[in-house]
Amino acid sequence: MRFERIREFFRWFYRYRSLRLTPEGVRFLLLTLAVGVAALNTGNNLLYLLLAMMLSLIVMSGILSEQCLRHLVIRRRIPEHVFANSPALIALSLTNRKPRLPSFSLRVLDVVEGKSVDRGVHVLHLPAGASVIQSYPILFPRRGRHRIEGLKVQTRFPFGLFIKAAHVPLSSDLVVYPELRPLPEGFLHDLAVLGHDQAVSRRGQGVGLYNLREYLPGDDSRMIHWKTSARQARLMVRETETEDLRQVTLALPTVIPADGQRFFEQAVSLTASLAAYFQEQGFTMSLLVGEQEILHGVGEEHLYHMMHVLALCAPTPAEGGASSAPEGFGMLGERTMRGEITLVVLPWPDPSIQRLARGVSRVFHVWERP
């Protein structure tokens, strides 16, 4: 108990600094010990002099390495949107705020879950008052909330005998979105067909072609379709199809059996990938994840909002092999309007959801996919 307390005390005392010997340092200490024994044994003061020199080198190591680590200002910049299993570039800026003294041999490590992770950030020389920016890729294998607890700045300066580390309490919290996986070709074809089947043609603002007609005064000259105009020898304008009605609802039930975690993660990833696909296609999207619903919206902000929900959604254990379907899922079939796509991503063959999803556009059975 007492030993634990002492250990705790030392941990507290050295919470901002730590010291480790390098292989050269171990040899140096052994040699110092040998010289010390020789000096004690012989009483030869010149051996004491050499011993003092070696001890002074150790002390100087401590002083100079401390000087290297002092007055360093470090900032970390993390990208706003990070996806699982997709490398994100983190930028670190180091500034030496010392008025005269440079810093040498700096290595910067991330501290994650109490462990130091070397990202390969190495600054050999940072002059007084200078700054340097270095970036490194980082890969999060899992979606969800992540925390980088701090930074550790190490130096072996001046003699390479010790590795001194300064702990910088620079914590960063980030939400990692689900992994985006490429959708298979066949799958994309299905979605295209589905979109075509459900399409409601109406003139309006959009990208898709709706009709070609003769030019009328007051029409936007930018809309003139020159090829057709040349072919028919009269000015023809291009009318676009409105995108207002290109709507999709993605539904992901979160109730899963005890062994369904893997398929649930695949379902989350598929939902996120579908969302990214439809965003690219310009669809208006809504999302239903368990009890949580995000109403129709469009644009990048809306997509990242959906990704955030998907990143943080957690499965709920099913009781007795079936789930009581969430309230939102009960109205799925009824509320699907004409021209709207409703997709349900099922992580496991949940009979209650399957029953409710009869009226929807498509149900994806994740467990059936490789």
Partner 1 sequence: MILERAFPVSSILLAAIGFLGLVLTGEIPGGLILLGLASLVVSAAQAMEFAGERLARQIANLSSATWNVFLIAVFVFFGADLLLISRDILPAAVHFLILLMSIKLFHLRQRKDFLQLYAISFLELLAAAALTVDLWYAGVFIAYVFAAIWTLILYHLRNEAEEARAAVQAGKELHDPSPIPRPVTAQFFWATNGIAVVSFCLTMAIFFLIPRIGAGFFQKNRVDLIRTSGFSEKVDLGVIGAVKLDPTVVMRVELPDQKAPIPEGLYFRGAAYDTYDGRSWANRLAARRLLGRTPDGGFLVPSELTLAVPESAVMRQEILIEALDTTVLFGASFVESVKGNFVVVQMDGMRGLFVPFPTSARFQYGVRSIPSRLLEADRVAPSFTYPAIIREHYLQLPDTSPRVAAFARDVTSGASTPYGRARAIEQHLRRSYQYSLDVGTTVSADPVDDFLFTRKTGYCEHYATAMVVLLRTLGIPARLVTGFLPGVWNDFGNYYTIRQQDAHAWVEVYFPRSGWVTFDPTPSVPAAVPSWVWWNIGKIVDSIRLRWDRYVVQYSFRDQMAVAKSLRDRSEKVRSEVSDFVSTVTRGLASARAWLVELAHAGGWALAIGLAAGTLVIGMVLAVLLRGHGRRQQQLDPRTPRQVAAIQLYTRMLRILEIRGLPKSPGATPLEFARQVAREWRDAAPFVRPLTDLYYQVRFGQTSLSSDETQKVHDLLARLRAVRR
Kindly list the residues in this chain that would bind partner 1 in the complex (CB under 8 A).
24, 27, 31, 35, 38-53, 55-57, 59-60, 64, 104-105, 120-126, 132, 134-137, 156-160
Contact 145, 173 (CB under 8 A): yes
**What's the closest the beta carbon of residue 318 comes to partner 1, in angstroms?**
45
Closer CB to partner 1, 35 or 325, in the complex: 35
**What's the closest the beta carbon of residue 80 comes to partner 1, in angstroms?**
21
Q: Which amino acid is at 326?
A: P
Contact 199, 339 (CB under 8 A): yes
281-295 burial: b if 16+ Cβ within 10 Å, else e: bebbbbbbbbeeebe
**What's the closest the beta carbon of residue 41 comes to partner 1, in angstroms?**
7
In the sheet where 144-148 sits, what is the strand order? Answer: 82-83, 172-177, 144-148
Closer CB to partner 1, 40 or 331, in the complex: 40
The pairing of strands 82-83 and 172-177 is parallel
363-to-199, 315, 326, 333 alpha-carbon distances in Å: 19, 19, 16, 12
Closer CB to partner 1, 102 or 195, in the complex: 102
Closer CB to partner 1, 124 or 139, in the complex: 124
Q: Which of 141, 148, 152 is nearest to 174 (CA)?
A: 148
**What's the closest the beta carbon of residue 50 comes to partner 1, in angstroms?**
6
Phi-psi domain of 144 (left: phi exceeds 0; alpha: psi -120 through 50; beta: other): left
Closer CB to partner 1, 30 or 331, in the complex: 30
Closer CB to partner 1, 42 or 324, in the complex: 42
**What's the closest the beta carbon of residue 35 comes to partner 1, in angstroms?**
7
**What's the closest the beta carbon of residue 62 comes to partner 1, in angstroms?**
11
